[in-house]
């Protein structure tokens, strides 16, 4: 199969490292911001309805976050497999990895969407809201948004395939179109048609279907697509599926544990009332300016390292990690200062209630203390994942996050009250981030000594992991 023009243009194994990283990272960051903006748009307009509507949307969002753990299996499988294969200039293997990741994503997306559709009431009751309407609205949101889950899983694999090829610009543009649709539809459904929480869910479904349709068209028709052809008939290869699951199950478990433990923490927050959930959910969306950007740079690093790992360019990998760490350290410091000094103003843009704005400002000030560490964690975790070593960052994350609900519960029973929940979140985030960074630094020498030379290939064509 001949190389497409996109692969040459977006080849990450050659050229200036910072320029190549930014070429991939900036659109991914933009895409991450767009995904955050979906929630911010919902909360902006639902904030005009009331804090109960925001709480319902935020609670339902926890289950959409839970779906992300399963979604990552397909997306990360494509990002790692496609990038390493393209680094070896094996386009056939890259296509097979993408297709088998797509198969996994379709199956998981259908199953998760079905669960939301059938068990939405039971899932809404988990939070034990004191307000009955909040529970009913949460269930309604889940039953509607369930129809878009398979589409978001498919979109994730296509996005991962584009990112792995070095072309993160196309998914960014298409997600931007989806956001534009959501921005237009939200006020129409929420306020004009008076559908409130249900209207927000309908607007989200329509927007996600638009994005999925655009990405399907892009990977089969666009000039900048990663592959010359993307056949509808999937060539199933058992070895590739096993390798994808080996890479991605630790990542999925990390995300699922993190989300589930956060849901338990949210349940503790809910004991203080719907206003506490509203404050933390809006606050977490503002705070995501930090970790979504860090995560976007981490995703770019996965593609960068994956291609260079497949090509056996170890010094280029090391320099890429150092440059990424410096860039994310600067961003982490900036967001820390932003949340500390301007958190209250940012929060008031979404919930104009003065009492809630003061509560949200307090949340953002407390969470400001873990932003630098979390951004460095994103770089370190991306460095591990790009080489296929996903177990280490996932094990560290799961272990550290187990402390989150424990600390939140204990501290909330002191005079700190609700502040204790948020302090517990900050402490565990710092433990997790510092732990994985030190692991990477102190195991560096050991990794380099055990690095396989470029010619040391396994029978399945992949490089032996570092």
CA of 401: how far to CAs of 70, 249, 269, 357, in Å? 18, 17, 17, 28
pLDDT digits (tens, 9 = 90+) for 400-422: 889 999 999 999 999 999 999 99
CA–CA separation, 278 vs 301, rounded Å? 34
Position 78 scores a pLDDT of 92
CA–CA separation, 369 vs 130, rounded Å? 31
Position 183 scores a pLDDT of 86
Q: Tokens 């990112």 sit at which residue?
A: 163
Query: Residue 227: which H helix or E strand, with range?
Result: none
Position 112 scores a pLDDT of 95
CA–CA separation, 407 vs 422, rounded Å? 9
In sequence order, the 6+-apart residues with CB closer than 8 A to the CB of 118 are none
Position 196 scores a pLDDT of 85
Query: Residue 12: which H helix or E strand, with range?
Result: none
Position 9 scores a pLDDT of 59
Q: pTM for the whole thing?
A: 0.76
Q: Tokens 């068209």 sit at which residue?
A: 217
Q: Computed over its alpha carbons, how large is the radius of gyration of the chain? A: 21
442-451 long-range Cβ contacts below 8 angstroms, 24+ apart: 448/314, 451/314
* Count of Cβ atoms closer than 10 Å to residue 221 Cβ: 9
Position 341 scores a pLDDT of 92
* Chain centroid offset of residue 404 CA: 19
Position 453 scores a pLDDT of 40
Position 452 scores a pLDDT of 46
DSSP assignment letter at 195: -
Beta bridge partners of 463: 457
CA–CA separation, 264 vs 131, rounded Å? 18
List strand residue ranges (DSSP E) for 41-82, in order: none
Position 350 scores a pLDDT of 74
* Chain centroid offset of residue 349 CA: 24
DSSP assignment letter at 194: -
Regions of the chain short of the pLDDT cut 50: 1-7, 448-466
pLDDT digits (tens, 9 = 90+) for 311-365: 888 889 889 889 989 988 999 999 999 999 988 888 888 777 788 888 888 999 9
CA–CA separation, 107 vs 411, rounded Å? 41
Position 445 scores a pLDDT of 53
pLDDT digits (tens, 9 = 90+) for 353-396: 788 888 888 999 999 999 999 999 989 988 888 888 888 888 89
SS3 at position 457: strand
What sign does the dihedral 244-297-204-338 (CA atoms) show? positive
% helix, strand, coil for the chain, step of 5 = 80, 0, 20
Helix 403-412 to helix 391-401 angle (10° resolution) is 20
């Amino acid at each position: 199969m001949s190389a497409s023009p996109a692969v040459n243009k977006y080849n990450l194994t050659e050229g200036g490292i910072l320029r190549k990283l930014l070429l991939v990272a900036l659109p991914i960051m933009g895409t991450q911001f767009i995904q955050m903006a979906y929630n911010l748009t919902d909360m902006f307009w639902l904030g005009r309805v009331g804090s109960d509507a925001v709480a319902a949307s935020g609670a339902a969002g926890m289950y959409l976050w839970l779906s992300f753990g399963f979604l990552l299996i397909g997306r990360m499988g494509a990002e790692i497999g496609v990038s390493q294969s393209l680094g070896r200039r094996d386009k056939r293997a890259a296509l097979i990895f993408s297709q088998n990741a797509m198969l996994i994503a379709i199956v998981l997306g259908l199953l998760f969407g079905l669960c939301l559709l059938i068990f939405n009431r039971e899932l809404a009751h988990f939070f034990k809201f004191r307000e009955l309407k909040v529970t009913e609205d949460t269930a309604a949101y889940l039953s509607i948004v369930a129809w878009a889950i398979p589409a978001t899983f498919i979109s994730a694999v296509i996005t991962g395939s584009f990112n792995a090829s070095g072309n993160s610009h196309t998914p960014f543009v298409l997600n931007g179109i989806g956001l534009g649709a959501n921005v237009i539809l939200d006020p129409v459904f929420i306020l004009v048609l008076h559908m409130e929480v249900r209207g927000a869910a309908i607007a989200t479904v329509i927007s996600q279907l638009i994005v999925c349709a655009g990405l399907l068209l892009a990977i089969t028709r666009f000039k900048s697509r990663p592959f010359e052809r993307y056949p509808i008939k999937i060539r199933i290869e058992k070895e590739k599926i096993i390798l994808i699951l080996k890479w991605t199950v630790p990542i999925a478990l990390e995300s699922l544990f993190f989300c589930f433990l956060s849901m338990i923490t949210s349940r503790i927050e809910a004991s203080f009332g719907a206003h506490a959930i509203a404050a933390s959910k809006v606050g977490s969306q503002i705070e995501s300016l930090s970790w979504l950007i860090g995560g976007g740079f981490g995703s770019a690093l996965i593609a960068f390292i994956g291609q260079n790992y497949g090509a056996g360019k170890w010094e280029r990998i090391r320099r890429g990690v150092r440059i990424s760490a410096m860039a994310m350290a600067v961003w982490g410091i900036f967001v820390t200062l932003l949340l500390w000094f301007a958190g209250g103003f940012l929060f008031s843009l979404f919930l104009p209630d003065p009492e809630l704005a003061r509560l949200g400002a307090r949340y953002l000030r407390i969470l400001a203390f873990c932003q630098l560490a979390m951004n460095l964690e994103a770089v370190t975790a991306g460095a591990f994942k790009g080489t296929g070593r996903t177990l280490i960052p996932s094990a560290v994350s799961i272990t550290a996050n187990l402390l989150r609900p424990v600390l939140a519960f204990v501290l909330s029973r002191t005079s700190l009250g609700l502040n204790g929940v948020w302090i517990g979140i900050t402490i565990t985030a710092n433990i997790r981030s510092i732990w994985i960074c030190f692991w990477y630094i102190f195991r560096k020498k050991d990794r380099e000594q055990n690095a396989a030379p470029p010619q040391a290939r396994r029978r399945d064509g992949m490089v032996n992991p570092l």
